[in-house]
Amino acid sequence: MQASLPLTAHRSLRERWFPNGEWVLAVALAIEIAIFAATAKNFFTAGNFFEVMRLSVELGLLALALTPVIVTGGIDLSVGSMMGLAAVSFGAAWRDWHWPIPGAALFALLLGAAGGALNALLITRLNIPPLIVTLGSFSMFRGIAEGITHGAVNYSNFPPNFLYLGQGYWFGIVPVQFPIFLLALAGYAILLHRSIVGRALYAIGFTAAGARYAGIPVARRIGLMYFLAGVVSAVAAIVYVAHIGQAKSDAGTGYELAAITAVVLGGTSVFGGRGTIWGTIFGLFSISVLQNGLHLAALPSELTGVLTGTLLVVTISIDRLHGRAQQKATQPKAAILEETETMKNSQLAVLCGAILAGSLIVAATNVWLVHSLDRTAGGTGGGSAATGGHRAVIAMMPKAKGDPYFVSCRAGAEEAARELNVELIWDGPTGLDPAKQNEVVEGWITRQVDAIAVSVENQAGISTVLRKAREHGIKVLTWDADAAPDARDYFINQATPQGIGFTLTDEASRLLKGKGEFAIITGALSAANQNLWIGFIKQRVAEKHPGLKLLTVRPSDDDRDKAFTETQTVLKVYPDVKLIMSIAAPAVPGAAEAVQQANRRDVDVIGLSLPNLCKKYIHDGVVQEIVLWNTKNLGYLTVNTAAQLAQGKLQKGLTSFAAGRLGKIEVRGSEVILGAPMIFDKANVDQFDF
């Protein structure tokens, strides 16, 4: 049991303000800030301070709402999903039902309240543990959001005075959404620390049965917190929509775990009974400062996860070990049970400390390694062409790091960067959170890179931040997928969605000889690109190939194993299916393996994927062909164009330019054309290595 319920009157200042070891975190945060201020460019500025604030508002709101929930000993996993549901219902009310913005916002809030009430009802009236209830509503809320929008509907083009809420500044520097966060912060601080309800929450978390005997209406107090969590999630959703400029069913993906991390990092005990709002704020900012600092120092985003995990374990271990030492000092004759356990395991605690120290050293050496590699790469490049004093910095972003498709683009990008002696920063989202791309670009603007090249995940969402980059004098390119034309200087066009959709459909028709049934295995149901392609595939089937029939669209979530299982089911449910069209890179090998294992020689597999992933299946005759472009050349051309643009070598209105080893490249308007999509089959697949 935690012995820190502050009942005694005389406490030291530290105990009074940081009863749960938040000081450990405050120290960690200070160290973080010191390190980044020394190493990361433009980190320690007022502008960046407010940027960090702005990017933490949505997550911060959820973390605030979760603090009292966790103080009562509960948990709410559904807050991120509720954000998705509230966002799409807000968008639907505004665009489809033509409600005014305040009406739509009210509707979203009511929905959040209803969702929170559902959780509260199941938890307090039916006595089902919160983890289970919110695990169910976690699936259900997101599922409803996907169901009503088919994952694809993207509400955007909101009026500017609404977008001001998420993108504007007061006095040119203070983000508009910041006061909302302060208001919620004040509300929750008063509720938790200065009200009778707050005291009741601690009592409930400490022991629910005891609280009942003390005359506290336990169920009502607990229920209120889940209800509020639902409402606050809806508020976060509205801020999020105004910030990103779009409402889609994937809003807030993964936010629940990030928010819980912030709360727990801040010293709130998951067993309930202890924790403070201040701790949560410290936790929140140690995570967002870490992310922001890594972007500004141009270190890979994956470090965020590794360092957050380490920070979490280390701060809580220090707090636990410190707390135990103190307990031993003040209560030499503690309960027998506690005493024996502590004695027996003290050596093991040391051991675990050693493990932690080890992991820290590993993390630190990795950081150092990355740094030194950067330096050596820069050193050799600088020697060969030491003409200009300033090396252009080009920041390039894929849709998702770790996707094999983008990994192969990166190889070409690095080749071009070496050739032209420019510094290449390659970073992007590691998860499915659509707001991440904006966050990374914001970091690059603060870092003042020379050119930014983005493979756009959400057109409506990213265009605003790209315009902001252009206002700051940064050259902006898009590659792979385009933003709004006025938000960038050039688009490196490897193939239009229309071209991809039409080519795939024409190839399918050719293989099926104009007649037959086919099924599509897509990426995630809400993936913007894939949904665009599916639209063009349907259009082409209706216009040109009436003999083809699309049976079903199944998701693979970019998971090979899921694509495999889905294809197996499709083959059985639709025995007449003659062709599987997989339009996500990991889905083609998954579908091919399923067709091969089912021994269905009559079923063709085509799709969009990388030659290296499909070589084996193409040679086995399971996959007939895949459609793609030369991804290495795409990365090469992007960096080449960006470098020439940053060095002022490309004039407006030119129709072609020389791009290194690719020779003369055509420019149409503001689109740089890579060439037509290629078809890889048995004959040519071995010539490519990516």
Q: Is 309 in the site for another protein (CB under 8 A)?
A: yes
Nearer to another protein, 366 or 670 (CB): 366
Rounded to whole angstroms, the Cα distance separating 341 from 339 reads: 5
Q: Report the residue number, 152 or 511, with the smaller CB distance to another protein.
A: 152
When asked if residue 349 is in the footprint of another protein (CB under 8 A), the reply is yes
212 lines the binding site for another protein (CB under 8 A): yes
3-state SS string over 431-446?
Answer: CCCCCHHHHHHHHHHH
Q: What is the DSSP string of 91-138?
A: HHHHHTS---HHHHHHHHHHHHHHHHHHHHHHHHTS---HHHHHHHHH
**Token digits of residue 414:** 């690095």
DSSP string, 478-537: EESS---GGG-SEEEES--HHHHHHHHHHHHHHHTTT-EEEEEEESSTT-HHHHHHHHHH
> Smallest distance from the beta carbon of 292 to another protein, in angstroms?
17
- Cβ distance to another protein smaller for residue 428 or 461: 428
Tokens of 66: 């979760």
C-alpha torsion 357→361→364→368, nearest 10: 170
Binding track, positions 256-275, relative to another protein; x by CB under 8 A: -x--xx--x----xxxxx--
* Stretch 114-173 residues interacting with another protein (CB under 8 A): 122-123, 126-129, 131-133, 135-144, 146-147, 150-151
Of 497, 453, 557, which is closest to residue 151 (Cα–Cα)?
557
Nearer Cβ to another protein (412/586):
586
What span, in angstroms and rounded, lies between the C-alpha atoms of 445 and 447? Answer: 5
When asked if residue 593 is in the footprint of another protein (CB under 8 A), the reply is yes
| Minimum distance from residue 309 beta carbon to another protein (Å) | 3
User: Binder to another protein among 337, 576, 663, 664 (CB under 8 A)?
Assistant: 337
312 contributes a contact to another protein by CB under 8 A = yes
Spatial strand order of the sheet with 577-582 comes to 548-555, 516-522, 577-582, 604-607, 623-628, 678-680
589: contact with another protein by CB under 8 A: yes
| φ, ψ for residue 175, nearest 5 deg | -60, 140
For another protein, the closer CB: 353 or 660:
353
- 1 belongs to the binding site for another protein (CB under 8 A): yes
**Piece of 44-52, 202-210, 481-489, 630-638 that binds another protein (CB under 8 A):** 202-210
Q: Please, what is the minimum distance in Å from the beta carbon of residue 75 to another protein?
A: 8
Q: CB nearer to another protein: give 543 or 561.
A: 561
Q: Is 564 in the site for another protein (CB under 8 A)?
A: yes
Could you tell me the smallest distance in angstroms from the CB atom of residue 555 to another protein? 5
- Contact status: 13 vs another protein (CB under 8 A): no
Which letter does DSSP use for residue 21 in this model?
S
- Of residues 214 through 233, those in contact with another protein by CB under 8 A are 218-219
Strands 664-668 and 671-673, by their bridges, are antiparallel
Number of residues lying near another protein (CB under 8 A): 102
Yes or no: say if 548 and 515 are a contact pair by the CB < 8 Å rule.
yes
Q: Which is nearer to another protein, 29 or 123 (CB)?
A: 123
Candidates 24, 40, 239, 303; binder of another protein (CB under 8 A) is 303
Which pair of structure tokens corresponds to residue 15?
């105990």
Secondary structure (3-state) at 390: coil
- Segment contacting another protein (CB under 8 A): 33-41, 233-241, 312-320, 665-673? 312-320
348 or 654: CB nearest another protein: 348
Rounded distance between C-alpha atoms, residue 221 and residue 69, angstroms: 10
Q: Is the dihedral of CA 34, 35, 36, 42 positive or negative?
A: positive
**Interactions with another protein, residue window 530-559 (CB under 8 A):** 552-555, 557-559
- Please report whether residue 581 would count as binding another protein according to CB under 8 A: no
Write each residue from 422 to 441 as x if it is in contact with another protein (CB under 8 A), else as -, in one continuous string.
Answer: --------x-----------
- Does 30 contact another protein by CB under 8 A? no
Separation CA 620–CA 682 (nearest Å): 9
Site for another protein in 604-633 (CB under 8 A): 612-613, 616
**Does 320 sit near another protein (CB under 8 A)?**
yes
Please, which residue, 135 or 174, has the CB nearer to another protein?
135
**Residue (118 or 650) nearer to another protein, CB:** 118
Binding another protein by CB under 8 A: which of 30, 325, 343, 355?
355
Query: Residue type at 415?
Result: E
Q: Least distance to another protein from the beta carbon of 196, Å?
A: 20
Closest approach of another protein to the CB of residue 587, in Å:
11
Amino acid at site 581 = M
Is 80 among the residues that bind another protein (CB under 8 A)? no
Residue 196 CB burial class (10 angstroms; 0-12, 13-18, ≥19): exposed
